Amino acid sequence: MEIEPLRIEGAYQVTPRQFPDDRGVFLEAFRGDLLAELTGHEMRVLQTNVSVSARGALRGIHYADVPPSQAKYVTALSGSFLDFVVDIRVGSPTFGQWQSVLLDTVDRRAVYLSEGLGHALCALEDGSTAHYLCSAAYNPTREHGLHPLDPAIGLELPDGLEPTLSPKDAAAPTLEDARAAGLLPSYDACRAFRTELGSAP
């Protein structure tokens, strides 16, 4: 398994080693010990989610209040996605920037994003199924969103793909409106929380 940091601090791309034979294929999809060597703490999984999406379904940009926020580890079980990690931490050197990773059933990559980062997922095929490991349970009072088509963020979708948003995501504020309203996590608070996780017994 190869775990590589993305250019946004606290986000990683995970590429598993696959073992095919005449029965199919085997791989390690998650290694908490290896991830902890890079993040400084183990990812405690409290909830798993599955989403099944039609082509063009764009989920996000979602995030949660820090603490405890919600770290995520996302893989594709079928179909394919563009997974977007968005730095929404006020004060971060890469604030407002994003990076995408192709998740599919060929390379079977995963994306890990730490607490405080924004996340969006765009399905590239009908019936694409994503699996999420989450470090905290869903709490609707602490969950937030940003408009995924905010031009100031500028997520790049494939040519010819028409995005479909939920009513909630379509009504979400822009990055600047959320920052002005004090809805975004701070870079310092996110780093302090991750340090606290690393020192917990």
pLDDT tens digits, the chain, 201 residues: what are they? Answer: 999 999 999 999 999 999 999 999 999 999 999 999 999 999 999 999 999 999 999 999 999 999 999 999 999 999 999 999 999 999 999 999 999 999 999 999 999 999 999 999 999 999 999 999 999 999 999 999 999 999 999 999 999 999 999 999 999 999 999 999 999 999 999 999 999 998 765
- Domain coordinates in residue numbering, the chain: 2-199
Q: What is the maximum alpha-carbon separation in the chain? A: 57
Catalytic residue among 12, 41, 62, 131: 62
CB 10 within 8 A of CB 117: yes
In the block, which residue shows the tokens 């601090």?
9
Burial of 197 (0-12, 13-18, 19+ CB in 10 A): buried
CA distance 62 to 183: 12
pLDDT of 199: 74
Say whether 132 is catalytic. yes
pLDDT of 201: 57
Dihedral angle of Cα 118, 56, 157, 89, to the nearest 10 degrees: -10
Question: H or E segment at 128?
Answer: strand 128-134
Say whether 41 is catalytic. no
Fold of 2-199: Jelly Rolls (2.60.120)
Contacts of 142 (CB under 8 A, 6+ apart): 64, 65
Burial of 51 (0-12, 13-18, 19+ CB in 10 A): middle
